[in-house]
Structure 1
Amino acid sequence: MEPVSQLMATTRIDHRLTIFPWMGDHCFAGRTVLAAVEAMQLLATCVQAADPQMGVGNMDDARFAKLLAIPPSATTMKVVVELENLEKEGIRARLLSRTQGKVMTRLVSHCELSFIRQAPPVPEKDVWAETPCAKASLSVPVAKIYQELVPFGPAYRTLQDKLFLSAERAWGSLLAYDPGECTATPMGSSFPLDGAMHAACVHGQRLVDFVPFPVGFTSRHVVKPTRAGEFYRTQAELQSFTADELIYNIFIVDQEGEMREWVQALRMRDVSQGRIKPPAWIKA
């Protein structure tokens, strides 16, 4: 494929998405759905294929508009990737699917974000600056989290041991699932960020009357890609919330405290249209 700088302003690519076995562990409301972190990996791979000189570690203005359901027993599925050349700023990438209507086929957006060329300075952040067990008002064993609060299958049970919760924060340990397959992951393992968002989801269930799912973020920055099979630590910091939206900043560091990635203004909302509610005990 030609570098993006030589392509038209907007290019659409028909892509066959490989459905790996572990993707079946990411479920919502009884359906297997493509995790947002997997969608971002796909877009990053397509951007690098279109422009090998383009870095994919810095992202802006992400929107997860609609869950992409994975058909039962599927090993591949057809999707569309749209790349928009933003010239010096970077590339806007969109993951779309085709839906057949009564009259015509339409494109539905599932994930879009901009890969930007400018990297911000790395924040000096100690995610364990406050001792979780001392500051927490509640600690929840991860077995209970993945049974009742974030009911995903084994591959996506990334949080380890206990999640510590205070009024403004959630602290957790992460283990990046090792799928044991040679897959290209230009932004590192998808699983640590997914687990960090589980921490925010659990924290949010104490505050609102719905199960919060990510619907977008202001920016994401991968300083050093995470790796399968490694342990990390995370902190989700509540920035604000209303009756229908919560906003968190997310930080992921390695065992030495080195920043690996962070997300600014992760937006979380109800995507179940009110059908799924948090259990009463998490609010107690």
Structure 2
Amino acid sequence: MSEGRLPLTIPVKPWFSDHCFAGKTVLPAVETMLLLAARVAESYGELDIRVMENVRFVKFLEIPEGISAMDGLIDCEMRSDGSLEIQLLSRIQFKAMSRIKEHGSIVFFPVKSHSHKPLKMDLTQPEEAMTEIKVDDLYRELVPFGPYYQSLKKNLYLLGVEAWGELRAPDVTSDPVQEIIGSPFPLDGAFHAACVLGQQTVDFVPFPVGFDRRVIVTPTRPGCDYRTKVRLVHKTEDELVFDLVIFDDTGTVYETVAGLRMRDVSGALGR
């Protein structure tokens, strides 16, 4: 894959229909990352796709009903430090002109040129009484996604600026690149935990719009269970910022995200 703007075919997986916003099926942010990482792995073997920086989720990519694939665009820019910014774009055709819309972007760095150290967080669960939210209520009232994207299991526990939850990755594979960066579903579930934690402090439903850094230490696997801890680290009137960790019962860390930014994105479709 050369630099510049190139066509891309986006496979539409059956479970995408469980990921809806305002009644429309939209490409999940975690699938955007999977898609871009796969393209980089194919053509830029010198880059480490286990570390993602300056990630942005700019606009929703709506998926029409009844299709198995859709057209998109990839834009790649190699930087002087050896890093690569890759963007997912789409083209909207009007009668007399077309418009390019950006949906997401990631910066990848060369292998061994960048720290692969994950975010550090104390994973000792507090002994104090915590607010308990049943996941059935959570997915019915707070994060209304379908079964495949109901990655949080059992109950979500909240205490102050922290959320604790259990995750499960459905036994499905979106792309072979999952062998390197893991299943997209556990991270999506951790985003849901952040969304619910955020709703305790603001009067809007916060959605992820980007983050500073994601480090995959060990890829999560389809059909396996994990845990997550999410911590609110900064808050403004219109943005919440979180750190999160995905780990297992032994305390082994699988991946971390630092500086997850979430905002009110109501009205984002069609812009």
Q: TM-score, normalised by structure 1?
A: 0.88
Distance 2:208 2:45 in 1: 29
Counterpart residue type for residue 233 of structure 2: Q
Aligned residue in 1 for 2:121: 125
- Report the alpha carbon displacement of residue 130 of structure 1 after superposing the two structures with TM: 3.0
Confirm or deny: 8 A CA contact 1:47 1:83 kept in the other structure. no
CA 1:227–1:33 in 2, change beyond 3 Å: closer, same or farther? same
Runs of 4+ aligned residues of structure 1 deviating over 6 Å after TM superposition are none
- The CA RMSD measured in Å over matched residues stands at 1.9
Deviations 1:16-44 (A, max 9, x none): 11101011111111010000000000000
Shift in alpha-carbon separation, 1:266–1:182, aligned structure 2, 3 A:
closer
Contact 1:99–1:108, Cα closer than 8 Å, also in 2? yes
Question: CA offset at residue 59 of structure 1?
Answer: 1.0
Aligned to 1:116: 109
8 Å Cα contact 1:125-1:259 kept in structure 2: no
1:196 shift after superposition: 0.1
Q: Does 1:269 align with 2:263?
A: yes
1:187 paired residue number: 181
Greater per-residue strand proportion:
2
Q: Which amino acid aligns with 2:169?
A: A
40, 55, 73: which one aligns with 1:62: 55
SS of alignment partner, residue 192 of structure 2: helix
Corresponding residue SS for 1:134: coil
Q: How does 1:152-191 map to 2 (within 5 A)?
A: 152-179=145-172, 183-185=176-178, 186-191=180-185
- Quote how far apart the aligned CAs of 1:134 are: 2.5
Count residues with an aligned counterpart. 265
Superposition deviation, residue 88 in structure 1: 3.6
Query: In the alignment, which residue of structure 2 is the partner of 1:280?
Result: none
Q: Residue 233 of structure 1 contacts residue 252 of structure 1 at CA under 8 Å; is this kept in 2? A: yes
The one-letter amino acid paired with 2:208 is P
Q: Secondary structure at the match of 2:259?
A: strand
Residue in 2 that maps onto 1:15: 8
Deviation at 1:206, TM superposition (A): 1.0
Give the SS at the match of 1:55.
strand
From 115, 129, 134, give the equivalent of 1:141.
Answer: 134
Counterpart in the other structure of 1:279? none
The structural deviation recorded for 1:122 is 3.2
Cα distance between partner residues in 2 of 1:43 and 1:210: 29
SS of alignment partner, residue 128 of structure 2:
helix
Q: Which segment drifts farther, 112-121 or 164-173?
A: 112-121
The Cα shift of 1:83 comes to 1.3
Preserved contact between residue 12 and residue 80 of structure 1 (Cα < 8 Å): yes
- 1:216-266: CA deviation from partner (whole Å, max 9, x where unpaired): 111111111111111111011001112211100011112221111111110
Could you tell me how far 1:89 is from its partner in structure 2?
3.7
Q: Does 1:246 align with 2:240?
A: yes
Post-superposition Cα deviations, 1:157-211, rounded to whole Å, max 9, x if no partner, equal 0001000011210100000111267744241100010000000000111111110
Distance 1:84 1:256 in 2: 40
User: Distance between the aligned counterparts of 1:219 and 1:13, measured in 2?
Assistant: 26
User: What SS does structure 1 have at the residue aligned with 2:34?
Assistant: helix
1:224 aligns with 218
Which stretch of structure 1 is more off in the superposition, 173-182 or 244-253? 173-182
Could you tell me whether the CA contact under 8 Å between 2:119 and 2:258 is conserved in 1?
Answer: no
Deviations along 1:70-91, one digit per CA (max 9) or x if unpaired, are 0011110000011111244421
1:200 aligns to 2:194 (yes or no): yes
Segment drifting more, 254-263 vs 227-236 = 254-263
Over the matched positions of the two proteins, sequence identity in percent amounts to 42
Write the letter of the residue equivalent to 2:266.
Answer: S
Instruction: Provide the secondary structure at the position in 2 that maps to 1:69.
Output: coil
Q: Deviations over 1:118-148 (max 9, x none)?
A: 1242344342x133x6242x11000100111
Measure, in 2, the Cα distance between the counterparts of 1:181 and 1:79: 17
Q: Distance in 1 between matches of 2:233 and 2:210?
A: 15
| Alpha-carbon contact 1:43-1:93 (below 8 Å) kept | yes
Equivalent pair of 2:84/2:109 in contact (CA under 8 Å): yes
